[in-house]
């Protein structure tokens, strides 16, 4: 099952030094999840500080657990929204 994850940095609560301290761990974890096939695609957001990524997980509980283990989530530097996805029915049989 695939999930869209939106993250937004909590810039009103933390300063750039806080983010820079945790960023190497966040990037390393994202690279590992990508190598493991959990993160399918990832983008930096252009509208605000944060990211958007697709993950593969068996269910919503597992997807949330994956996201909760990210360094930015554990440190509360970013907030995350996990959205389950389903196939677009417009491409199915008419």
20: CATH:
3.30.70.1060
Summarize pLDDT for 24-51 with one digit per residue, the tens.
999 999 999 999 999 999 999 999 999 9
Residue 53 in domain: yes
- The C-alpha atoms of residue 23 and residue 61 are separated, in whole angstroms, by 25
Inter-residue contact 30 to 42 (CB < 8 Å): yes
Whether residue 68 lies inside any domain: the answer is: yes
Q: CA–CA separation, 9 vs 41, rounded Å?
A: 19
In a domain, 93, yes or no: no
User: Is 92 part of a structural domain of the chain?
Assistant: no
Please choose, from the candidates 26, 50, 31, 54, the residue with its C-alpha nearest in 3D space to the C-alpha of residue 42. Answer: 54
Provide the pLDDT confidence category of residue 94 given band limits of 50, 70 and 90: low
Domain limits for position 74: 2-86
Mean pLDDT of the chain: 96
């Amino acid at each position: 099952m695939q999930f869209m994850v939106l993250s937004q940095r909590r810039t009103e609560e933390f300063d750039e030094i806080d983010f820079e301290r945790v960023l190497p761990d966040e990037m390393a974890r994202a690279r590992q999840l990508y190598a493991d096939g959990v993160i399918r695609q990832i983008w930096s957001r252009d509208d605000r500080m944060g990211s958007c990524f697709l993950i593969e997980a068996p269910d919503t509980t597992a997807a949330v657990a994956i996201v909760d283990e990210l360094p930015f989530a554990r440190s509360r530097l970013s907030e995350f929204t996990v959205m389950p996805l389903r196939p677009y029915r417009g491409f199915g049989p008419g």
